[in-house]
Structure formats: C-alpha cells, structure tokens
A and B are shown apart, each in its own frame.
Chain A
Amino acid sequence: MEFAELIKTPRVDGVVLHRPFLPLVEGTLCLTGHHLILSSRQDNTEELWLLHADIDFIEKRFVGSSGTIIVKCKDLRIIQLDIPGMEECLNIASSIEALSTLDSVSLMYPFFYRPMFEVIEDGWNLFLPEESFKDLESMTDEWRLSEVNRDFSICPSYPPLVVVPKDTDDDTLLKVASFRHGGRFPVLSYYHKKNGMVMMRAGQPLIGPNGRRCKEDEKLINATLRAGKRGYIIDTRATAVAQQAKARGGGFEQEANYPQWRRIHKTIERYSVLQDSLIKLVEACNDQSHSMDRWLSKLEASNWLSHIKEILTTACLAAQCIDREGATVLVHGTEGTDSTLQVTSLAQILLDPSCRTIRGFQALVEREWLQAGHPFQHRCAQSAYSSGKLHGEAPIFLLFLDCTWQILRQFPCSFEFNENFLVLLFEHAYATQFGTFLGNSAAERSATLKLPQKTVSLWSWVNRPQEMEGFVNPLYEPNSLVIWPSVAPQSLQLWEGVFLRWNRSSKCLDEAYEEMVHIIEYNKELQKKVNSLRRQLAQLETEEI
C-alpha cells in the first residue's frame, strides 16, 4: 500500500495553528506518510511535527467556508488547526484519520525512521537476560536459566530465556505451563540480595470449577521456600473475582494444596475500568470551568488516584513481605501481564536501589514489561480521547509510571532520573519513532516483526550523553536502603507533568528547576575550586619547609 493513496490533500496554505500558552502560528500544512507538519514562513517560529500515530482523535467544525480540525493527541495535548476551504479541511481530516489508524504494525514510523545520530551503544543488546543471570549467579546458585521457551511454543508471551528454580527440570515446566493461564508458569522476577528472598510471577492457576491441582506446580513454588518458612501469594484480584474465575477455568491456589503459602487478595482493577478512569481524569483536567466542587468531584469520580493508591499499596505489601517478613512472594492476577507486572516492577523500585538509576530503570522496563510480555501494542493503541469500542486499550504502563512518579516525589534525592524521563517513556509507549514499545511480546518483537534488525531502540537514543543530560536528577544521591513511601491519600498527588502539562504555563516551574540545577552545579564548582586552592597552598607550604 502506498501512503499517497491515503493522502487526499498533501498541502494547504494559510492554516492557523492554535496551541495553549503559545502564540498563533500561520503557515503551510503538509501531510506525509507519518507526519503532520505545519511550517511557517517566518524564520523564528517553531515548526510543528506531529506523528500521525500520536493522534488519538480528531474533531471537525465548520464555520462558513472554512473549517477547523481539533487534534487530540495520545500525549494528551490538544491543538487546533483552522483550515481555509471546506473541501481541504474535509480531505485533511479524512487523511489524518486514515493515517493515524493504520492496521499494520509494519507500516508504522519506526520501520521508516533512520536515525540522524550515530548509534554507539545498541539498545537492543543492552539488557540481555544472559547478562542479568550472571549477576544472579554471583549471588546464589539456586536458580537456572531455562531455554524451554526458546521457540515460544510453551508460553507465547514469555521470552526465550527464563529463570526458574535449579531443581525444576524443563519437563516439569511443561506440565506447570499447562496449569497456568497463558502458559505463564512461575518464573523469578526479583532476588533480594539482602536476605536471599525472592519474588516470582505467573499467570493464574487453572484450577477450574472442580479444583484441579498440579503437583508439579506445587513442587515448583515450594522449591523456592526456605526450610520451615512460609511464603505469600499476592493475588491482584479481589477474592470474589478470583472465585468467579474458577467458573471460567481459572482460579487461585487453594490452601489445602499449598499449605506453606498464605494468599492475600488485593483489588487492582482490570483494563477496561482503568481506561475509563483515564478518560474521565483527562476530561476533568481539560474542564476549564472555574468551579472547585466540580473539579474535585470529577477528580474523585475518575478514581485514578484510587487506582494509584491500590497499586502502590500492593507493591509495598509485596516489598514488605520480602524485606520485613523475610518471605518468598508469588504475584499473579489473571493473565499475569498487567497488574502483576505493575506490582512486581514497583516492588523492585522500593527494594532495589539499582532500579532507581537510569540504566537500572531501563533494565526494569525491559525485564518486567517488555520481556515479561505486557501487550504494549494493544494497551497503548488508544489513549484518553479514545471513543467507541475498545480492544484491550488500557493505561497499565502509565499507571506504573505515575506510581513511580509518586515515589520519586516522596524520595526526590533517591532517583538518578527526573520526572522528564518518566514523561518520555509515557510518550514513547504511545507514539514513537523507535521500535522499543512496538509489538505485544518478545515473540512478536523478535520473531515476527524483527524489530532489532529493522528499527532503532529508544535506549540507543536516550543513553547518548547529550540526551541523558535532560533526564538526570541533579539531587540524586545513591541511597542503598529500601524505601517506604506513604500511601495515604494526602500524600498522593495528581501527576501535573502529564495531566496538566498542556493546561498550565510551566515557565515558572521550569525556571525554578533550572535554579535548583544551578545551585547544585555551583556547589560542585566551588568544591573543586576550594580543593585546588588547598592543594596549591599545601604544596607551597611543603616547599617552604
């Protein structure tokens, strides 16, 4: 298919662009296969380059012979284009609609994007499971790297290499896989160096209405327990929901069969509820009415912060079991690809200082989200302005980023990255020139789409020193401790950097941030200066003697 077929009008002059808090721009609108471009004849005005993939929804309005297109983006920005001429406007609108909803992944921009920078460190090879297993091996010999899923036949959503208890052979894994939702048998998610406790994740056990059991499954997870110790199973569903799952062939670990385990049910909502929550929240944030009551009641009705609190609380609970109770933890929900990953990844941020570094956080996203099979393509196909029937779209990853931001706010000196880095990941999960977040699983990424060969990794770009500069937290001081955030509603806040980003002028806040950076830089300079003066003086004094 040619993109040209979809572009009915490639170019319109005299288009006026309205953006909040920025002056109007008048110029020429161009449509290309992947971008909507508005360039002005004036030299000093910035051009607008918008990826079609970033467009979530468009609205058309007509006044007289000219039309207006309101473009609502997946990064939550709303821009307005005034287009002279009814026909041009209609053509542009239908072209954008077609181009922003392309079915085929292989037509997406990352497959056409050629980097304008030299790739020094290929992001595709940065976080290999073999490498991280080496680290694990240096701490414990109780685990092994299994290739049982090398052709993705046992579990399509798992990567080719997974870490499992040493004494569990591949045949056992095969049997356990048939007992777990989506073939997601329990695998190692995190090893807590401090006390040797572990966190595992899986899909729900398929006990069904008759209470089927699987000895191999029991054996596998019991193998992770220390003698005489019990473990916790954190089920991210409410008890009633887990009960209902039995009727559909799913379920939960029954006490009788897992006597060494205690099950805790938490209620993290499923994707449709969360998508609805995002839509309502963004609607509330874009409401320009000046009524306080209306704002607070809309914020409440969105339930967004309730979801944040629930997810954070569950992650804290998992971390508490591991660090404070010295217990092994198994986390699962239904599929084990959404709420499960939120909990396991956030718990690692609390427990493991290395996850709070930039590289460590990238590794975490790679390991616990991309490799672990979070279906990014499905979840991020539509954002807050989506309408009509949804196909599994949900802000699961955004919620994870928001929770991370909440922890970052409470521990502003313990993270190597700043808020901008989290916002960047949010943007690129939804629309991007990079291949990192395309596809739904490791299988799709490497086998079907061949992303490492055909696209550029986000990490290749982000890790270049000149880009990295903008994402480094100047206040960072490595903190080797486990961190315990407050989950009280009074301690949680709306993430303004994402949700109010386009509704406020950030000038004052940006300047304040720069001042902060300046104070720190100046401090470093002074330290250096004082040290060199001291050396100079000491040298002179010794010479005199």
Chain B
Amino acid sequence: MEHIRTSKVEQVRLLDRFSNKSTTGTLHLTATHLIFVESNSTSAQEIWILHHHIASVEKLSLTTSGCPLVIQCRNFRMVHFVVPRERDCHDVYSSLLRLLRPESYDELYAFSYNPKQNDRQREEGWQLIDLAAEFERMGVPCDQWQLTDVNRDYKVCETYPRDLYVPITASKPIIMGSSKFRSKGRFPVLTYFYQEKKAAVCRSSQPLSGFSARCLEDEHMLQAVSKANPNTRYIYVIDTRPKLNALANRAAGKGYENEDNYSNIRFQFVGIENIHVMRSSLQKLQEVVGTRALSVTDYLVGLENSGWLRHVKAIVDAAIFLTRAVTVEGASVLVHCSDGWDRTAQVCSLGSLLMDPYYRTIKGFMVLIEKDWISFGHKFADRCDQLDGDPKEVSPIFTQFLECVWQLTEQFPQAFQFSEWFLIQIHEHVHSCQFGNFLGNSQRQREELQVKEKTHSLWAHLLSGQQNYLNPLYCPSYGYTNPVLEPSTLPCHFKFWRNMYHQFDRPMHPRQSILKQALTLKENNRELESIAQNLQAKLQKLGVSTSPLEVRLSPRECALPPRPKSLILGAPFSRKEVHQEDEDELVEGEEAREDIPVGSDGDRTVEGGSATENGYGELPLSCGSKPEPAMVSLEFGVARMTC
C-alpha cells in the first residue's frame, strides 16, 4: 500500500492508561489495521486497531525512552505507545494520518472485507431486514394509511427512502406542497403505527415558516394525519429542540408550526440540544473519565459539567412524552427537529421501543435501526466521520441513542432479548465501516455505492453470533404483560455506562460477570436437556420406560400467557419473515464455528487485576524492586466477546 511508510516497528512499549504498567511488543501496520503484538509473554496479547476506528493520532514530544504516540479510537479505546526511534514514530504517525482519513468511499474497509462467504449468502444477508414487512407487521397499509410512490426516484426528497407511508387523504399535490415547505423536503411521513389505537407516529423536518409564512398544503397534511386517527381530534407536534433554537431558526426562514395556522395541533418543545452541544458534551465526558488517579469529586463534577447524562435524560423524557401521547391518549404525533434526522430519529426510535416489545428483540432492534436511522437518512457518514469531512458534522447522536436503550435495559432487566454486548457491538461496527449498512448518508447514496452488491450486511453477521448477545434473563412473556415500558426518569436512575466508555479498560470492570455466568448456565442447560433426552431415548430402546424429562422445574419461558387482544401483538409476521427466521437458524449452525473474524480484538478476558494495577497508593519501600507476582486470575471476565 502506497500510504504505509513502515510496516513493522519493534521494541515498542504500550503504556497502560491508568497505571504505570507497560508491555513491550511489535507494532505492525497493515492496509486495514494497526496491530500490536506483545513479545516475551506466554499469553502474547494482541491488539488490533482498525484504521477506521482511529479518531485521532497524536505524536507527543520526544522523551528519553522514545517517542510517544497517542491514539484515540471511536470505540473509546485509547492507546499510548512509546516508539524507541523518532523516525519510526514519525513514519507510523504520518502513515496513520493518511490511512485514517479515507478520501473516497471505495477506500473503506467494507469494500475489501471478505468473510469467506459466497454471493448467495451475502445477498441473503441483505434480505434479512425487510421494511415493507415491518410496516405490514404494524398493520400498514390499512384503511387510513397507504404506501405512496412520490419518492420512488428520490425526486421529492433525496434523503428519504423510496417507500413512504402517508394518510390516505394526503393527495400528491398536498405531499408536494408540504415537502416544499419543509427543510430538505422532509415532509411528514409515518414511521410507527400503534395499531391498538390507530395512532400514528410521524416524522418530518422543521417547517419553513419564518416569521409569518404559511403553507396550506402542509396544514392539510397535518390535518390528514389527524383525520386518520379516529380517537382524538388533535395531534401532538413535538419539536425536539429547545425553544430558543427553534426561535432562532425563524430568522433563517425556518422555525416551527404556528398553532393559529394549524387547526387542532398541540405543540410542544422538549428541549434536546443540537449535535454540536452533544459532541462537546461527550468530549468533556471522555476527558474526565480518561483522567488518571481521578477523585470521586472530580468525577462527579466532571460528569455534571459534561451534561452528558442530562442530555440522555432529555431524550428519554421526550420518548416518554411521545409514548404517553400515543398509548394513553391514543393521539397521533408528529416529531421533528431541524432537519429531522438526528433528534427526531432518537425520539421516534426510542418511543417505538417503549411502545412495542418487538423492537426489544434482537431482530426487532435491527429492524428499528434500519427503519428510523438507516432508511430515514441519519447521516452516518458525516456523524461518524467515515470520510475526511467537516469535523463540525461529527456527533455521537447514534451512540447516545444506544446509551438511552442501555439505560432502559438497566431498569427493565427482563424486557430485552439482547444484552449490552449487542449494543456495544453495534456501536463498534457503526464506526468500523466493515459492513455496508451504515455507509454514506442516505439510502440513495448507498444505492449509488452499490453496498448491497459490493459489501456485507452487519445484521447477518450479528445474527450468526446472536447467542453471544442474548440477555439470559430475558422473559419473552414480559412483552405481553408489559407491552409499554414506563421507565423512571428520576436523575438517580441514570448511570454512567462504564462498559461502553471504558470497554477497553479492563481494571475498571467487575472481575466476575453475572451476565457471562448466566449465559454460560443457560447454554449448559440447553446441552443438558438434549443429553437427558438422548439418554432417555437409549433407555427406551433398552426397554426401560421413562417419563419425558421429569424435572421439578421447567424452563419458564416456554409458558407464554394467552395472547391479549392487543392488535400490535396479534399482528402476524409476514410469511416472508417467518421463513427467513428459519433460515437464520441454518446460517447460524454453519457459521457458529467460524472463528473471530478480521477486525476483532480477539478475546478480551479480564484477569482479576492486580494490586498495583489498581493504584491503591504508593508504597514507600521495596515497591517496584520485586517482580510483580502472578496475576490473580478468575475464570469469568466481563468484556469477553468476539467481534
């Protein structure tokens, strides 16, 4: 590769982020990864860093022991190397600078990543998620909502998907007129249908109302949304921005709906900050938690000053507002922010997750992301800095959404089919550019890039390893008894997500993981069940009659309560999807054995940690003169996962 000036540097030291420990090894630079291989060690730890994961490389000034190179990654990994010779350091540095800023999409890893699959498997991977089937599951099209073809060729709105659902009474002229009155042409369309009450969640961008402009078609559009719902005569319009921001937009000819012009709307600001505030908030948070020998005071003050948890809470609050309007009042809701692809995506998707248990399953969560984030044009390329772009466009909006979901999993440990490992894994790959799903900024762009023809789908990859992401405590019947989640939003119930932001800082993790333990037990239970069945079969052959698996306890999840009359839950899956799910299992069987794919970090097991690693204090005598005793090792590590 022309960008790689040096492919191998030896005797490089890797410094631990929070202690004084260091390891020595060899640094390798490949076309896709930066690899550190520990030497002189029986365990020979390897660290693989994908170039796309690198957010910044910094070369610090020369020290007596060498030239420090600090690499910060988007998956919150932070590595500090010391390269003995400055020239080597400079070569690695300048190679990385070029490699981490690809100029065109075809340089991205997804276009060269090859997991040894044939074309048929690859294509099937892309067919796993079918949004038409998803709308069908919600009960759309129906007598009030229909599929429109206005955007078949991306003529009306190039950041929307081709298939859009609108009220039956919204004629083409109304749609065209409304789209001209909305930023980037993003007119109100359906994103979730709460079948039980026929209430709709719609999304759009802000209206171009300025100080006084109005648009009859747009007003008609909202009326059409309202009329499609027999429950209420009003609809809620949730502007997810702080009022001040919305007011400021008026001066630029944009703004928000004037309640005088739109009959029967209930307008509400919910005050989520913009992408710039979120970006600097996470930066501040990372700075705080990256500090060595951090005191509790500095930690809590830093947590507060970063505002991160305040923002997370604001999003959850907005989603709860949306959910209550829909499920309690049975009202339809239109959600928008400025362009309708950041805050709007957060609130719509989180609201849907609160209302519909399907989205709390592994497959359903993929569908949710595919719908509210990918298809509706969340600008993944810009927000995740896939190409060398405008740094002001970068923002952790999607990360924030994943965190909101995590906060919910903490409050409802049995409601989600997946564990936090699933969320962390999705986060990893949103930034890895290893799969085609998140490339580019819109569906249209992905079609131009031919991602379905040239790259692999993350969803297939995740489904093939789904046993790793299961929540062992998940109770499928929970969704029937508690279809709508009502989380507490008291501030004390929001926690710092250590396993995300410190996922690579092993000494900080619990030394034994309940999650891992429970997963292992469940797997073990399944094995035992089949062993017991085999043994019984053998005994039967020998003429001994045994009653079928007579254990006192039985797996609880088998017993689902009778389905309530809820229409959401009653709605059948489309045949296609059921069929595909059967196939998933086949694929799983074949792929489960495939080893850690490229781009992973190998196993990350936690080894009990050691006294010195934790830095309890400096011992004034003899410390350091003796070799560190063997590590206390425990079997169950928390961050053990394959990527």
Contact = CB atoms under 8 A, between A and B. Distances in A.
Interface in A486-506: 486-494, 500, 503-505
Contacts of A527: 528
A306 B296 contact: yes
Interface string A171-194: 000000000000000000000000
A260 to B, nearest CB: 11
Interface in A295-325: 295-297, 299-300, 303, 305-306, 308-309, 313-314, 316-317, 319-321, 323-325
Contacts of B475: 511, 515
A325 B629 CA distance: 10
A409 B510 CA distance: 7
Interface in A324-361: 324-325
A65 interface: no
Contacts, number: 229
A78 B552 CA distance: 41
Contacts of B287: none
Contact of A325 (B303, B615, B622, B632): B622
A142 interface: no
Interface stretch (A43-51, A100-108, A240-248, A531-539): A531-539
Interface string B613-643: 1111101111100000100101010000000
A533 B546 contact: yes
Contacts of B18: 488
A521 B546 CA distance: 22
A413 B608 CA distance: 13
A486 B621 contact: no
Given A526-B528, A540-B539, A519 B619 contact: no
B551 A320 contact: no
Interface in B530-552: 531-532, 535-536, 538-539, 542, 544, 546, 549-552
A303 B622 CA distance: 33
A308 to B, nearest CB: 8
Interface stretch (B245-253, B348-356, B398-406, B407-415): B407-415
Nearest to A496: B492
B494 interface: yes
Given A321-B619, A526-B529, A486 B535 contact: no
Contact of A533 (B495, B507, B535, B610): B535
A21 to B, nearest CB: 11
**Chain B: interface secondary structure?**
loop
A296 B491 contact: yes
A512 B621 contact: no
Given A481-B632, A488-B507, A540-B542, A292 B491 contact: yes
B531 A519 contact: no
Interface stretch (A32-40, A114-122, A283-291): A283-291
A324 B611 contact: yes
Given A481-B634, A523-B525, A526-B551, A486 B491 contact: no
- Size bin of chain B's contact surface: 35 or more
Contacts of A446: none
Contact of A484 (B535, B556, B614): B614
B509 to A, nearest CB: 7
Given A292-B310, A537-B539, A529 B296 contact: no
A493 B528 CA distance: 37
A61 interface: no
Given A288-B490, A525-B552, A529-B551, A490 B496 contact: yes
B539 A316 contact: no
A291 B510 contact: no
Main secondary structure of the interface of A (DSSP, over half): helix
Given A413-B636, A512-B473, A300 B611 contact: no
A62 interface: no
B300 A296 contact: yes
Nearest to B312: A292
A526 B550 CA distance: 9
B280 interface: no
Interface string B5-49: 000000000000010000000000000000000000000000000
Contacts of A309: 295-296
Contacts of A319: 611
23 contacts: A290-B489, A293-B310, A296-B309, A306-B295, A316-B611, A410-B510, A411-B634, A412-B513, A412-B517, A484-B614, A486-B614, A488-B18, A488-B614, A504-B488, A504-B493, A505-B488, A508-B415, A511-B414, A519-B472, A519-B522, A529-B550, A530-B535, A540-B544
Interface of B: 18, 289, 294-301, 303-304, 307, 309-310, 313, 317, 411-415, 472-473, 475, 488-496, 498, 502, 507-514, 517-518, 521-522, 524-525, 528-529, 531-532, 535-536, 538-539, 542, 544, 546, 549-556, 608-617, 619-623, 629, 632, 634, 636
Given A296-B301, A305-B300, A484-B511, 10 more contacts: A316-B616, A413-B512, A413-B517, A483-B632, A484-B614, A508-B411, A515-B475, A519-B522, A533-B536, A534-B535
Which 9 A-B pairs rank lowest in CB-CB distance, beginning with the nearest? A295-B491, A300-B300, A489-B299, A512-B413, A296-B304, A526-B528, A292-B310, A533-B535, A316-B616
